[in-house]
Chain A
Amino acid sequence: MTDYLQTVDWSRAQFALTAIYHWLFVPLTLGLGFLVAIMETQYVRTGDAFWKRTTKFWMRLFGINFAIGVATGIILEFEFGTNWSNYSHFVGDIFGAPLAIEGIMAFFMESTFIAVMFFGWDKVSKRFHLAATWLTAVGANLSAVWILVANSWMQYPAGCTFNLDTVRNEMTSFWEVALSPVAVNKFLHTVTSSYTLAALFVVGVSAWYLLRGRERRMATASIAVASAFGLVFSLVTALTGDRSGAVVARVQPMKLAAMEALYRGEKGAPLTVVGLLRPHPVNGEAFYFSVDIPKMLSMMSFRDPDAYVPGIYDLVDGNPEHGILPTAEKIERGRRAVAELARYRTALDEGDEATQREIRALFDPATPQGEEFLREYFAYFGYGYLETPGQIVPHVPTLFYSFRVMVGAGSLFILILALVWWFNRRGDLDRRRWLLRASIACVPLAYAASQAGWILAELGRQPWAIQDMMPVSVAASKIPSGSVAVTFFLFLALFTALLAAEVSIMTRQIKLGPNDKE
């Protein structure tokens, strides 16, 4: 392996590390911000000091979590430049805009009003303070909008065209980027699952108080708010998840096939509920055993129980019957597109204007030959950097199991939240100790499910940095691999130490409860 490819691997590891750590804190911020705002609204509406005390307790936990989310977030933005410089050039014209909008629209709102939220209790009016709390939550969620738009574009690069002069992709439609079906679904699915996680956090902490016989009023009131909030959004998460699956089937069929371990495509494909994967498929059979629901995968993917769902072999080897091009052919076409770039470079170096004109016409969508070249060859540009067709297959077991962790846990959360809401409403939740214990167990499970969702989304996109357009193997910066390895371990040590401090502080604050003097 060359040093550059080692750099690519270390850069992937570093980005994954920072993203995983960052995502440990963001979902709680997204959801808890709104829960705190709802509680403070109760305080302002009723004037009851109990709600102020409750709000301040959860706000303190929000602050502890928020700080480390900010710390891990700054690295992610700058890593696009430090570790992925080719990527930053090739698609910076499109990808940079959401990041800048995030800063202008969301970060300033968040950082301005969070100061009022924490320090303004006795300095501003009740209503201004309440507005600041809501705006902090809105700011955090607006931030999620733009970063998820950016991420969605990597999964489904819409609204852009290639410019030969600048050798990069350029935006042609802001709304196609911002409102692509992937972006809309990803945003809805991600934030609603985050609201569910935050609700489970509040329910879990409150359940701990009930089990200890402490803070009964605060615990039941918090559970009333959080379980209703969580139940609604866990149901919405399921709906948006279903919609996301249908979108993935259309725009990233390999991701779908890999997460279902579907090697041979079929009409009326079944959905595997659970299964144990073989290390390697035998004659296309992936499982030692599995429990399937007939036709469900076709139904969920294409809303048709008899629809054809392509498998991994179809996507790698091609399937003429269903109009699927073999990957080897895509690689050839991609190489032709890359070769035209090389020819253009030579023509520029030699001052060969005739060849320059010829190639310019090829990359011009307004000319007939350009329209054909862009559709038939340049559409596979990223494939031109692959060595073998098998490279387009992501790691099947990781995707298969992470999907099941996410969906299984999500289904359990709906049940738990519904039960908690119901028994709390009846006023006998503290007698259901098994349910209180289950609620506490759901807190780490919610984090695991949330991480599993991102593992599925990001590993499922491999080998691409940008789907079909740029593989990770040409997206990185040219830095010695040893340097990236050093920063990887530096961040690993730093983030782990900070996480340990965060968990310790958070646990102590929960044990101290709302009576602790700040």
Chain B
Amino acid sequence: MDTLTFLQHYWWLLVSLLGALLVFLLFVQGGQALIYCLGKSDEERNLLVNSLGRKWELTFTTLVTFGGAFFASFPLFYSTSFGGAFYVWMAILVCFVLQAVAYEYRRKPANILGEKTFTAFLLINGLMGPLLLGTAVSTLFTGAPFTVDRLNLAAGAGGQTVISQWATPWHGLDAVGNLHNLALGLAVAFLSMTLACQYFLNNLDDATLAERARRRMIPAAALFVVCFVGWLVRLLFLTGYTADPATGRIAPEAYKYWHNLVAMPYVAVVLLAGVALVLWSICRGARGKRDAIWAGGSGTILAVAALLLLAGWNNTAYYPSTADMQSSLTIRNSSSSLFTLRVMSWVSLLIPFVAAYIGYAWRAINRRPLSREELREGGHQY
């Protein structure tokens, strides 16, 4: 493996890990979606919002960094997917804009939009964020109708100079019409609710809410398992695109993702370990155990990272084009240059340091679970 190929795989791994971390941190959105289901009074809802509010920035930052890392390492994906699936990405952005202000402004005096409006913003973000992100991520397997021709720039003034173009007028809405994509969107949404219940079990010192979270987790987890297993089984039967490592030519391959699992048994092990941990966390959560979130979180990270590796490694087209097969994106034809990947790789050495201080700060803040008494004592609140 030459250096460029190694770095392309390395950066796909990093992007996969960031994506996996993002899916775990979507428990914040899951919790927002359950505000009214779990919180029956203003005080209970405030407790839930304040518990989630100490983590929302991390989710938001991970989303932004995920986007930045994708841009830096695979810019052609950035320009093709974002510029093409315009409506879906805009919908995702709008619902995250709503979230960013909702926590801080929700209960501030003179909030002209009213507390209910900002709580509704949290609800919209909680329901739509994971659903849309999951649906968009599924297109990494099912593909999208786009074409890429870098030499369109040669058309000159007044010509058709746009490199990546969408072949339908739907600009991303077509992804929502695909049941396979929707299944992953729903799976991510139900997973985020499952993890949120596990987080509340861990982070709240409140027997009433803990019991409600425990009971709510069970149907959410069941729906997650149904959607996820359905999506995964369909994936293993899917025809994917494979790139010839010598020429870069792309060809269809039946059972491509099953073949990827067989060709990369370590990824299969990681996937199975992740799924097993998530299932274990559901069992722990159903018994009301506080530690369920750690198994659920680590299982989510392992499983999602493995799935994203299936999408990009082993000469797989990670963004198949349903309009023009040769336009499909692989980590080889869409990556940044060797120089840029090398520079970025040096920067990536900071990641363990960043993870360490996040862990340290998280522990420091979470040492004592949040209680109604703490909210009554005052201090900064959402």
Contact = CB atoms under 8 A, between A and B. Distances in A.
Contact of B73 (A70, A90, A100): A100
Given A163-B337, A477-B162, A501-B101, A108 B354 contact: yes
Given A67-B103, A100-B347, A104-B350, A123 B171 contact: no
A505 B382 CA distance: 13
10 contacts: A86-B79, A88-B71, A88-B79, A112-B58, A116-B364, A123-B364, A166-B337, A384-B157, A477-B164, A502-B101
A85 B162 contact: yes
A518 B46 CA distance: 14
Interface in A137-193: 163, 166-168, 170-172, 174
Interface magnitude class on chain A: 35 or more
Contact of A86 (B105, B154, B161): B161
B83 A344 contact: no
B167 to A, nearest CB: 11
Contacts of B337: 93, 163, 166, 170-171
Nearest to B87: A483
A88 B75 contact: yes
A366 interface: no
Interface string A279-300: 0000000000000000000000
Nearest to B81: A81
A4 B165 CA distance: 12
Contacts, number: 308
Contacts of A82: 82-83, 86, 89-90, 93
Contact of A501 (B65, B83, B111): B111
Nearest to B157: A385
B109 interface: yes
Interface stretch (B230-238, B306-314, B373-381): B373-381
Given A96-B68, A171-B340, A477-B86, A505 B79 contact: no
A99 interface: yes
A74 interface: yes
B154 A64 contact: no
Given A86-B163, A108-B354, A170-B336, 9 more contacts: A67-B103, A73-B64, A100-B65, A103-B65, A115-B55, A123-B368, A170-B340, A174-B339, A478-B165
Given A120-B364, A171-B337, A502-B105, A100 B68 contact: yes
Interface in A314-357: 335, 338-339, 341-342, 344-345, 348
Contacts of B103: 67
Nearest to B355: A108
A81 B101 contact: no
The secondary-structure label for the interface of chain A is helix
Interface string A58-90: 011001101110111111011011111111111
Interface string B62-74: 0111011101110
Nearest to A166: B150
A258 interface: no
Nearest to B338: A170
B251 interface: no
B150 A487 contact: no
Contacts of A411: none
Contacts of B361: 112-113, 115-116, 132
B79 A104 contact: no
Nearest to A66: B104
Interface magnitude class on chain B: 35 or more
Interface stretch (A201-209, A240-248, A490-498): A490-498
A93 B153 contact: no
B336 A96 contact: yes
Q: By CB atoms of chain A within 10 A, which of B69, B73, B96, B340 has the most?
A: B340
B94 interface: yes
A63 B380 CA distance: 10
A119 interface: yes
A453 to B, nearest CB: 25
A497 B118 CA distance: 12
Nearest to A516: B109
A367 interface: no
Interface stretch (A225-233, A428-436, A506-514): A506-514
B165 A71 contact: no
B169 interface: yes
Contacts of B78: 80-81, 85, 88, 92, 96
B351 A104 contact: yes
Contact of B71 (A100, A119, A342, A512): A100
A245 B153 CA distance: 34
The secondary-structure label for the interface of chain B is helix
Interface of B: 54-55, 57-58, 60-61, 63-65, 67-69, 71-73, 75-76, 78-84, 86-87, 89-90, 93-94, 96-98, 100-101, 103-105, 108-113, 150-151, 153-158, 161-166, 169, 171, 336-337, 339-340, 343-344, 347-348, 350-351, 354, 357-358, 361-362, 364-365, 367-368, 378-381
A470 to B, nearest CB: 9
A92 B65 contact: no
By Cβ-Cβ distance, the 8 closest A-B pairs, closest first, are A92-B75, A85-B83, A81-B82, A103-B65, A508-B110, A477-B83, A96-B72, A71-B100
Given A86-B163, A342-B155, A505-B111, A490 B94 contact: yes
Contact of A92 (B84, B97, B151, B336): B336
A489 interface: no
A105 B349 CA distance: 11
A122 interface: yes
A498 B105 CA distance: 9
B195 to A, nearest CB: 19
B64 A74 contact: yes
A63 B104 contact: yes
A170 B90 contact: no
A80 B75 CA distance: 11
B379 A85 contact: no
Contacts of B58: 108, 111-112, 115
Contacts of B340: 93-94, 96-97, 170-171
A100 B163 contact: no
Nearest to B367: A123
A107 interface: yes
B63 A74 contact: yes
A276 interface: no
Contacts of B71: 77, 80-81, 88, 92, 95-96, 99-100
Nearest to B150: A167
A518 B380 contact: yes
A474 B161 contact: yes
Given A82-B89, A92-B79, A505-B111, A68 B101 contact: yes
B209 to A, nearest CB: 19
Contacts of B104: 63-64, 66-67
A87 B113 CA distance: 37
Nearest to A341: B154
Contacts of A87: 79
Contacts of B89: 78, 81-82
A116 B76 CA distance: 38
Contacts of A101: 68, 72, 344, 347
A128 interface: yes
Given A85-B164, A88-B83, A74 B60 contact: yes
B162 A478 contact: yes
Contact of B380 (A119, A507, A509): A119
Contacts of B69: 100, 103-104
Contacts of B339: 170-172, 174
A260 interface: no
